Amino acid sequence: LNTFFVVALAVALASTVAGQQNVLLSGNTLANEESLSYGSVKFIMQNDCNLVLYGGGFQSNTASNGKKCTLTLNDNGHLIINDGLTGRAVWKNSNAQNPVGRYAAVLRPAPGTADVAIYGPAIWSTNAGFSYQGSGAVPHNLGRETPNLPRMQNLLFSGQTLYGTDGKLSPNDDNTTFELSKCQLSLSLGNEVKWKVAPTVENGNEDYCHVRLDHRGHLSLLNDDNVVLFRSIPANGVEPPIGDYVLIVEKGATYIYGSPIWNTYDNRRYKVASA
């Protein structure tokens, strides 16, 4: 192996999914035998080079097609399996021409219909430096409803609500906290507050606010009378279409990702595009 490839491989392995057991973000990699998991549902890059969703009926059908294979999500929203020894592309989930941006592959452990869905691109963030200058044309929404999704500790799906009584989201093994307290919504990294919304509310009503992610990708902070105190606006100023969105708390920032462009559930019975 040449020096360049060894260095590139080391960088790829350093950008693995550590800390986010149910999410794979753009630029990150599942190393050989690593997985996304929730309960008994597991999405694993197996040692035989087959990508399998246990509890969801999906596989890439790439067993024995490579060695020490890895799975990467790129900035076009494609999952790609690479041979870990040669770097050769073994499989790609889709040939769709998605816009460049931030994407997230999310494990959705709905009872009986568990899948992995690729959301994106991201449309909003607490990160002041984030920009999405898309034309407003959003990749198609698959439209499959995903009822009975559990509340997870690091994300909100469209329709889910964060109350003051359980008002904290945080990724695994990280010191980033997205918190609702006394009707103030904040994102902190360690002891540093990176982003905050602090609307004025009547005395005595500070404990009755809640946060909701709706089906147009807006994050809203509401009081007990459902009056909107804060509402996120997409970075490009274009109103998103109705769909299923996801808010993910990542290291130092929170992002809202657009509706799914692909999922394993709809590809269980169909041949998936090869690389």
How much is the pLDDT for 119?
97
Domains and CATH numbers, the chain: 3-120+261-267 (2.90.10.10), 124-258 (2.90.10.10)
Q: Using CB atoms within 10 A of its CB, is residue 248 exposed (0-12), middle (13-18) or buried (19+)?
A: buried
Question: pTM of the predicted model, to two decimals?
Answer: 0.86
How much is the pLDDT for 172?
78
Residue in the block written with tokens 């990160």: 127
Contact between 172 and 20 (Cβ < 8 Å): yes
* CA angle 194–215–273, rounded 5-degree value: 95
Instruction: Show Cβ contacts of residue 149 under 8 Å, excluding neighbours closer than 6 positions.
Output: 108, 109, 110, 157, 160
How much is the pLDDT for 171?
92
Total number of residues shown for the chain: 275
What is the number of other CB atoms lying within 10 angstroms of the CB of residue 193? 12
Q: Which residues of 60-90 are buried (b: 16+ CB within 10 A; e: fewer)?
A: bebeebbebbbbbbeebbbbbbbbbeeeeeb
What is the gyration radius of the CA atoms in the chain, in angstroms? 19
Query: Each residue's pLDDT tens digit in the chain (275 positions)?
Result: 443 343 344 333 334 444 458 999 999 999 999 999 998 999 999 999 999 999 999 999 999 999 999 999 999 999 999 999 999 999 999 999 999 999 999 999 987 789 999 999 999 999 988 876 544 344 444 445 555 788 899 999 999 999 987 789 999 767 999 999 999 999 999 999 999 999 887 766 677 899 999 999 999 999 888 899 999 998 888 888 999 999 999 999 999 999 999 999 988 754 444 44
What is the number of other CB atoms lying within 10 angstroms of the CB of residue 213? 23
Tell me the C-alpha distance between 29 and 48, whole Å: 17
How much is the pLDDT for 131?
73
How much is the pLDDT for 206?
72
Ramachandran angles phi, psi of 49, nearest 5°: 80, 10
